[in-house]
Amino acid sequence: MARLNLAIISLVFLGTVLGSRGQYEYDDDNVVAISENSTLYGLSEDFYRHACPQVYSIVRAGVEAAIKIQQRNAASLLRLFFHDCFVQGCDASLLLDDAPFFIGEKTAAANNQSARGFEFIDVIKASVEEACPLTVSCADILAIVARDAVVLSGGPNWEVALGRRDSLTASRAASDHFIPDPTYDLPQLLSSFQAMGLGAEDLVSLVGAHTMGFSRCTSFEQRIYNQSGTHHPDLNIEPGFLKQLHDRCPPHGDPNTLQPLDWESPASFDNGYYKNLVSQSAVLHSDGTLYSEAIAGFAGIRELVEKFAEDEQAFFASFARSIVRMGNLRPLIGDKGEIGHCDLLNCLLPRSPSSRNLVYYIHGIRVPANSSQRPFPNGYGEVFRNKITESYEYDSRQIGVYQGSYPTVRDGSVVSLRGTISLATSDGVRARFNVRGPYDFSQLTSIMPISGTLGGRSFLGIQNATVLFAYGRNGVVKGQAKICV
Ligand code: HEM
């Protein structure tokens, strides 16, 4: 209760203090400065200093409003940043709804009926758009929101580096692959963080976010009834706490019943989570394993948990450093991606949809003979002709979705394409686009800016003219092209 009061007081206090400051300066002594690394990735705190200086205060107000509706929203909003950054980097791909050419991340195992708070991001984005149209990315909004959710819950502050752009694609499969599962043991957790270039201390400090928010019974049922197929609970749960969990989540009970991740103070960002780990009162197996498995030879991890349980400031400083590092994961910068609409790609924004059925053909991409890259084992050039299977028309903008296959393009190739793409609609409208590489197939998609004419009209003023090629895993290449004109 004392911790709860403290959280409420610090919330009011922080609101007052920060509200009286400039939009840009959080000159707390405790603010963690942006690391050199962020700058290396092309991000900086004053990215919107001229274009949208209000962004910080607009986001802060939006997070405050969300927390006023329900304190848990702070936890849910913080989690969104993690689930975004671990899948193709911090590019707001998490926010994209399914599109004709990809299945998005919202229905991935870790997010389905679990990730929440999207509606607040939409509201914040709308307010930011009103103040500074087409300027601030959704990816940057997620980064500021995460910081504000922590600060407003009594946690540490840090400078948020900005300049990310939004993804043009998303992947449910990648989310399923990269977001760690609550059944993971310590080695699995470590390798999932290592895959992101994050280390053991990043793991231990970032997962301290579980000092806020809730878990559904379904996420830890296995642990309390049938750990590793033994038909027994995990032996590393303190018996009194195990009883609490059994009471909360009886066999065949509602899998969506909620259990606080930090039973004593789920509303405040403090070091209560680590105290729980030390007293073997962790909710998720992936949490408990940081303390229990550490005994079996993972030097340093158990000590770190104990240190954070004793020294809240040490946890705060480490968390702030690690979340800045997480925020640097593969940002899209420069002319990559777009300043998006969060849930919908700009080029899919509907304007009076019509039913005219266009059929496009794409053919004629060639790899130049002098190219050093050989994506096509059969030779440098390959002509293909494939049919776009679905297409849409929104006003004057036409969108074709192409589902073909390029069985010979190797995974991860950088392809130097040069040639033309020709499009023809069923009613005879033809277009030719010039294409020039190199295009990096090591990303899930390769973006090719195209220009040309369609039906005699040039593409002047067209905002999104891109062709995307996605490849699959295991060398199987799935062609996917999107034309937004
Ligand atoms: C280390 C691996 C991690 C695993 C296995 C994991 C797993 C989970 C699970 C299973 C839940 C409950 C979801 C549900 O039942 O609906 C949860 C909740 C949560 N996670 Fe994690 N998580 C991890 C790391 C992180 C990190 C790094 C952060 C943030 C920096 C984070 C933030 C949260 C928050 C705040 C909640 C509560 C959300 C709410 O109440 O809406 N988690 N996590």
Which residue would you say has higher pLDDT here, 140 or 362? Answer: 140
pLDDT digit string, tens, across residues 318-345: 999 999 999 999 999 887 888 888 887 6
| 156 labeled binding residue | no
- pLDDT at position 33: 55
CA of 210 to the centre of ligand 1 (A): 6
| 122 labeled binding residue | no
- Nearest residue by C-alpha to atom 7 in ligand 1: 182
Which residue would you say has higher pLDDT here, 449 or 346? Answer: 346
| 262 labeled binding residue | yes
CA of 333 to the centre of ligand 1 (A): 28
- Nearest residue by C-alpha to atom 22 in ligand 1: 207
Report, as an integer, the average pLDDT of 402-428.
43
Catalytic residue among 50, 83, 232, 363: 83
pLDDT digit string, tens, across residues 83-129: 999 999 999 999 998 865 678 999 999 999 999 999 999 999 999 99
Best mutation site among 204, 261, 315 for ligand 1 pocket (most ligand atoms within 8 Å of CB):
261
* Whether 246 is catalytic: no
Residues with CB under 6 A from ligand 1: 72, 75-76, 78-79, 82, 114, 116, 180-182, 184, 189, 206-207, 209-210, 212-216, 219, 261, 284, 286
pLDDT band at 34 (very low <50, low <70, confident <90, very high): low
Torsion angle, alpha carbons of 182, 184, 185, 186, to 10: -80
CA of 65 to the centre of ligand 1 (A): 22
- Nearest residue by C-alpha to atom 25 in ligand 1: 207
In ligand 1, the atom with minimum distance to the C-alpha of 72 is 40
CA of 219 to the centre of ligand 1 (A): 10
CA of 104 to the centre of ligand 1 (A): 19
Token look-up 């005699």 returns: 456
**SS3 annotation, 55-110:** HHHHHHHHHHHHHHHCCHHHHHHHHHHHHHHCCCCCCCHHHCCCECCECCCCCCCC
415 pLDDT above the threshold of 90: no
Which residue would you say has higher pLDDT here, 138 or 40? Answer: 138
Domains of the chain: 2-171 (1.10.520.10), 350-484 (no CATH)
CA-to-CA separations, 230 to 135, 164, 221, 225, 226, in angstroms, rounded? 54, 46, 13, 9, 5
- Nearest residue by C-alpha to atom 35 in ligand 1: 75
| 466 labeled binding residue | no
The DSSP code sequence of 104-170 is: -STTSTTTTTT---HHHHHHHHHHHHHHSTTTS-HHHHHHHHHHHHHHTTT---BPPPB--BB-S--
